[in-house]
Amino acid sequence: MTDRAVDAPNFGPIADEGDHAVHGLLDKIATRTAMVGVIGQGYVGLPLGLVFAETGLRVLGFDVDTGKVDAINRGESYIRHIGPDRVMAAVSSGRYAATGDFDKLADCDAILICVPTPLGVHREPDNSYIKATGEEIARRLRKGQLVVLESTTYPGTTDEELLPILEASGLVCGQDFLLAFSPEREDPGRQDFTTRTTPKVVGGVDEASTRAAVALYEVAVARVVAVSSTRVAESTKLLENVFRSVNIALVNELKVILDRMGIDVWEVIRAAETKPFGFMAFWPGPGLGGHCIPLDPFYLSWKAAEHGEWARFIELAGEINTRMPRYVVGKVAEALNGDGKAVKGSRILVLGLAYKANIDDDRESPSYELIGLLQAAGALVDYCDPHFPTSRKTRKHDLGLRSVPAEPDVFAEYDALVVATAHDVFKDGRLYRGAKLVIDTRNVVAAALGGAWDGAPRLVKA
């Protein structure tokens, strides 16, 4: 199923019937003989490759991480919410394989780019992975190929930066090869929408590119939405994440304000969401996590400044959300003080390294910032997260810690517990019966306790 947004292309016959790059590719897609290459086998690339393989296309996954390549070829999954049975089935069928040999890009009819787009130390966009990947493709680019960028970036990246890199090969876009942008919309761990059922926005650098990209994604995705350009598609993803960032910042700021007034912000939000129109519930927390919301809005604010405009909502939301870990640490210090203790020398257990519940994804997780701030204040900090037996080295942190068991006797050893992630395992009230103090940033412990009993911990919402 294909939808067309307002002002999107209304496809008609393609000129130059014999020579146009799109014709051979469309035939291969229609007959399920196309080979799809997916560069990057992480939280975006692996599930995307699997849905193509599961619909009958051959898929070759590219990654510089030999560990991921070897795991896929053994039929193993290294992402918790992607079952190993899916990977094994795709590999066993012969429709999915992984490689670190980029010369095999020449074998692919469509090449999908799913590489990271981080921020630099000054929150400036870092498109180095996109550019490096584009150069790898350009060295092997051949006639009849479709290239689609899925990595989130600012408007203009596809046609201003990636296109010139590809055309440096000597081939001409629209005549020899095709180029489009289609933003990834992965939400790890989500149950109600999957890679296949989440609508896919597609915009090409020209009409032929849009047509080819739409045809490709229609094979694997239930609904494809065609838009008029790559810039519209790039901006769509940024709007989605700016919307969430600004609204999360709003409830985080309200949390701080209402806390000063002695009002429970979670109760307020629950009451407000009973209105059947004009309100959408967002929930506060210890800070933003994941690859999208903490990073992507700043791609737009950076690009806006280039055009002499200032994205004040984006910058303000970023300021509020970025300071939330410090707010939580302040609440921890205040709560310990109420017990006659200082942060320095106190044993503190942070519950959860993942950025959201029940997943093994710790990208940009505020838990790392919390732990770092508490350690800087002199606390003796451990963490508990069944999804991370050992903390992983990130771009910014290297904790070198191992998870402690989620057991009541272990929790009772600490001066304070800080609930940073709402994993289901932390919703078991029995875990807290011997605890002294719980600082809850996710509002899960009160319900877990189910009411007061003798020996219940002191509970502070943060």
**Domain endpoint, select from 268, 300, 320:** 320
**Are 156 and 83 contained in the same domain?**
yes
**Are 206 and 242 contained in the same domain?**
no
- What are the tens digits of pLDDT across the range 387-418? 999 998 887 888 999 999 999 999 999 999 99
**Are 288 and 218 contained in the same domain?**
no
- What are the tens digits of pLDDT across the range 146-167? 999 999 999 999 999 999 999 9
Q: List the domain range (segments joined by +) for residue 306.
A: 238-320
Question: Are the beta carbons of 151 and 184 closer than 8 angstroms?
Answer: yes
In a domain, 307, yes or no: yes
**Are 312 and 346 contained in the same domain?**
no
The percentage of residues in the chain with a pLDDT greater than 70, rounded to a whole number, is: 94
User: Which one-letter DSSP state was computed for residue 43?
Assistant: T
Task: Tell me the DSSP string of 196-213.
Answer: TTS-EEEEESSHHHHHHH
Question: Side by side, which strands form the sheet with 58-62?
Answer: 2-4, 224-226, 200-204, 178-181, 146-149, 110-113, 35-39, 58-62, 96-99
**Are 272 and 341 contained in the same domain?**
no
Rounded mean pLDDT of 323-332?
97
In a domain, 204, yes or no: yes
Can you give the pLDDT at residue 452?
53
In a domain, 233, yes or no: no
Can you give the pLDDT at residue 134?
98
- Strands (E) in 379-436, as ranges, are 380-384, 416-419
d(CA 367, CA 355): 7
Name the residue type at position 433. Answer: R
Whether the predicted pLDDT of 137 surpasses 80: yes
**Are 407 and 426 contained in the same domain?**
yes
**Are 289 and 335 contained in the same domain?**
no
**Are 328 and 311 contained in the same domain?**
no
**Are 455 and 351 contained in the same domain?**
yes
In a domain, 244, yes or no: yes
Rounded mean pLDDT of 20-47?
91
**Are 206 and 305 contained in the same domain?**
no
In a domain, 254, yes or no: yes
**Are 193 and 263 contained in the same domain?**
no
- What are the tens digits of pLDDT across the range 66-80? 999 999 999 999 998
**Are 153 and 111 contained in the same domain?**
yes
Rounded mean pLDDT of 3-21?
51
Split at pLDDT 50, 70, 90, the class of 9 is low
Name the residue type at position 142. Answer: R
**Structural domain count of the chain:** 3
CATH number assigned to the domain comprising residue 266: 1.10.1040.10
What is the model's pTM?
Answer: 0.90
Range picked from 2-6, 11-15, 120-124, 337-341 for highest mean pLDDT: 337-341
Whether the predicted pLDDT of 132 surpasses 70: yes
Can you give the pLDDT at residue 6?
44
In a domain, 249, yes or no: yes
CATH number assigned to the domain comprising residue 418: 3.40.50.720
**Domain endpoint, select from 228, 252, 277:** 228
Question: Are the beta carbons of 97 and 275 closer than 8 angstroms?
Answer: no
CB atoms within 10 A of CB 160: 12
Whether the predicted pLDDT of 446 surpasses 60: yes
Query: Catalytic amino acids?
Result: 292
**Domain endpoint, select from 290, 320, 350:** 320
- What are the tens digits of pLDDT across the range 85-131? 999 999 999 999 999 999 999 999 999 999 999 887 777 889 999 99
d(CA 448, CA 429): 4
Whether the predicted pLDDT of 242 surpasses 90: yes
Split at pLDDT 50, 70, 90, the class of 16 is very low
